[in-house]
Amino acid sequence: GDWLQTSVSETAKPETPITLGFSQLGKESAWRVANTASVQEAAAESGIRLVMKNAEQSQKKQFEAIRDFIQMKVDVIAIAPVVESGWEDILREVKAAGIPVVILDRSVNVKDTSLFVTTIGSNFYEEGAKAGKYLLDRLRHLPGPIRIAELQGTSGSAPSIQRGEGFRSVVSAREDMSITQSAPADFTEDKGRAIMRGFLQAPAEKRPHVLFAHNDDMALGAIDAIEEAGLKPGEDILVLSVDGSRRALEQLAAGKLNAVVECNPLIGPQLMQAAKEIMAGRTLPKRMVPPEDIFTQERAAEAVNGRKF
């Protein structure tokens, strides 16, 4: 009879897969490449159809990608936002189209938080504070003045803004410690090298004792520049960075870096989980933060083993 046909066709119908549009911001760093791979692998593993567009550091390109996703009527849109500001209008367009949004990795600065369902990503302020705490502890017996050079990431990006603030909130405890040089180097190795070369042109009495790089790639470039200048990274200039890439941990084990604060890019599975829960009508916490640590030289060699990025 009728009921049988209905139930057979219902059970036989394969579930339509969820389509996820993901606007990735770029491929500036080892972290970013690992993050992209994590999202791709997790989508494949969980049977989610992924449409990904890479914006090459351009917010305008992210807007275009998001508008394409609206046209395609994807089920969920995920955005890794290159900068923190300027998202209200486009997020309103997405909301008007009835598509739920997940903010991945970096955060957006919007007043109306109903414009996204959840944010999955690190606590960047805490990362900067961890670097600052390491430094205070490490130099507790060293009298000042202590000059710090800072390589910032992309101007206006959440990790650069918040790592800078978290770091300052801690090192400001010592009046004889100050950030004497600071410039954006876009989270890339080449810029890190170039900007650090510039910093090291300063006369010896103005040279930094410490470098705080907002990510590993910039620190690795800067290590080259320090060596070119005839100085020993990790000794003549203490080097701190954020992420925890394999290459950085190798340099940490080799003594050229002093501490690496962990930032975890492998959040693809959490994104897929969130997409599924949203589609199932469940409520999610507004913010999900992966647990993160700090790597020091003592632990580096062991941490390199099995490192995923």
Can you give the binding site for ligand AHR, defined by CB under 6 A?
28-29, 31-32, 105-106, 159, 187, 215, 242-243, 263
Q: In the bound complex, what is the minimum distance in angstroms from residue 294's beta carbon to ligand AHR? A: 14
| Residue at token pair 């805490």 | 126
Residue 128 vs 207, nearer CB to ligand AHR: 128
Residue 21 vs 81, nearer CB to ligand AHR: 81
Q: In the bound complex, what is the minimum distance in angstroms from residue 217's beta carbon to ligand AHR? A: 6
Q: What is the C-alpha to C-alpha distance for residues 198 and 23, in angstroms, rounded to an integer?
A: 34
Residue 75 vs 243, nearer CB to ligand AHR: 243
Q: In the bound complex, what is the minimum distance in angstroms from residue 72's beta carbon to ligand AHR? A: 26
Q: In the bound complex, what is the minimum distance in angstroms from residue 105's beta carbon to ligand AHR? A: 5
| Phi, psi angles (nearest 5°) of residue 205 | -75, -5
Q: In the bound complex, what is the minimum distance in angstroms from residue 293's beta carbon to ligand AHR? A: 15
Q: In the bound complex, what is the minimum distance in angstroms from residue 142's beta carbon to ligand AHR? A: 28
Q: Are strands 49-54 and 210-213 parallel, antiparallel or unpaired?
A: unpaired
Closest CA to 265 of 110, 40, 91: 40
Closest CA to 21 of 52, 59, 61, 54: 52
Residue 106 vs 207, nearer CB to ligand AHR: 106
Strands (E), the chain: 19-24, 49-54, 76-79, 101-104, 118-120, 146-152, 177-184, 210-213, 238-243, 259-262, 287-288, 294-296
Residue 120 vs 300, nearer CB to ligand AHR: 120
Neighbouring residues of 76: CB distance < 8 A, sequence distance ≥ 6: 18, 19, 20, 21, 99, 100, 101, 102, 275, 278, 279
Q: What is the C-alpha to C-alpha distance for residues 172 and 165, in angstroms, rounded to an integer?
A: 10
Residue 159 vs 234, nearer CB to ligand AHR: 159
Q: In the bound complex, what is the minimum distance in angstroms from residue 265's beta carbon to ligand AHR? A: 7
Helices and strands (H and E) in the chain: how many:
11, 12
Residue 192 vs 208, nearer CB to ligand AHR: 192
Chain centre distance of CA 129: 15
